[in-house]
Amino acid sequence: MRRLLLVICVLGMGSLARAQTAPSLGAAATFAVLGGTNVTCTAPGVITGDVGVSPGSAVPFTNTGCTIAGGTPPATNTAAGLAHTAFLNAYGALVLMPCTQTIATAAFTGNVPALGPLAPGVYCFPAAVTFTDTTLTLDGSTNPNGIWIFKVGAALTGSGFQVVMANGAQACNVFWAVGAAATLSTSTLPPLFQGNILLGGPAGSITTTGGNLIGRVLANVAVTLTGTNIHGTCALVAQGGAGCKDDDDDDRDKDHHKKRHHHKDKDGHDKDNDVRDDDEGH
C-alpha cells in the first residue's frame, strides 16, 4: 500500500511539473541583451552578461559610457546568430501556450488588488497594456520553482512599473512575450523589473530609461538602454553550465537518492524501513 501511494505521489508531481514548463532558450540563454538590428547603451548604465546583435545593421552596437561587466559585446557574430534563432523559437512556443487567466484591463495605475500577488501560471493581456506606478508581486508560496508567463498581445508600457518576487519565486522563471514594442521608464518609483522579456514580433523593440532589470532582454529589432542597469543573472548562470534553482533541487534529489541506496545496502534486510524512507522523502 505504501508503495502504491508513493507511485501515485510521484506521478502527481510529474503531472504538475508538466502543466507549467518554461520554454527552452537554447543558445539565447547565455545572453543578457540580444538585439536583432542594434543595441544602444547610454550611460550611466551597466550590463552584466553577454550582449549580442544579429542579423545586425550598419552600426550594430553603440556604447556611450556604459559598462559591460561579466560578459562581452560580440556585436554580430555566429553566437548571436544562433541565439537569435533560438530566441524566436522560444517566443513562438510562449505565444502558443494556453492561458491560465485572461486579463482584459488595458491600463493599471497604482497597486491594483486585481493584479496581486499572482501564483505561477500563464497570464494573457489580449492587446496592449500600460502600468503606471504599479508593483506586480509574483508569489512562490505554492511553488517556488513555478513558472510565470505573461503574454501581451501588443505593446507593453511601464512607467514606475515594478515586478517583485515573493516567497522563493525566481526571476529566471518569469517570461514576458510581448507582441509589439516595450517601453519601460522611471516615474515616482525606481523600478526593479524582474524576468525575461522576449519581443519576437516584427515590431519587437524595447526602450528603457533608468531603472534596473534582473533577467534578459531579447528583441527581434532594436534594444535602446539609457541609464538602465541590466543584471543578467540568469544568463551568467547559464554560461556556467547550471540552471536556476531547479538544478540545485535536482542535485539535492540526487544526493537524497544516494543516501537512500546507502541505507538499503546497510539495512537491506528491512524492506519496510526502505518504504518508510521513501514515504518520508515525499
Q: Do 91 and 177 form a contact (C-beta atoms < 8 A)? A: yes
Cell 519587437: give the residue.
204
Which has the closest alpha carbon to 237: 25, 9, 19, 3? Answer: 25
Q: Output the pLDDT for position 190.
A: 60
Q: Do 235 and 49 form a contact (C-beta atoms < 8 A)? A: yes
Tell me the residue type at 184: L
Is the whole-model pTM more than 0.85? no
pLDDT digits (tens, 9 = 90+) for 174-229: 999 999 999 999 866 567 899 999 999 999 999 999 999 999 999 999 999 999 99
Residue that wins the pLDDT comparison between 224 and 114: 224
SS3 sequence of 137-193: EEECCCCCCCCEEEEECCCEEEECCEEEEECCCCHHHEEEEECCCEEEECCCCCCEE
Report residue 268's pLDDT band, with 50, 70 and 90 as the boundaries: very low
Q: Is 164 helix (H, G, I), strand (E, B) or coil?
A: strand
Residue that wins the pLDDT comparison between 13 and 202: 202
Cell of 247: 538544478
Q: Do 200 and 88 form a contact (C-beta atoms < 8 A)? A: yes
Q: Do 95 and 118 form a contact (C-beta atoms < 8 A)? A: no
Residues in the chain: 282
State what percent of residues in the chain have pLDDT above 90. 63
Tell me the residue type at 104: A
Q: Output the pLDDT for position 246.
A: 37
Question: For residue 279, how many C-alpha atoms fall within 13 Å in the half-sphere facing its CB?
Answer: 11
Q: Output the pLDDT for position 221.
A: 97
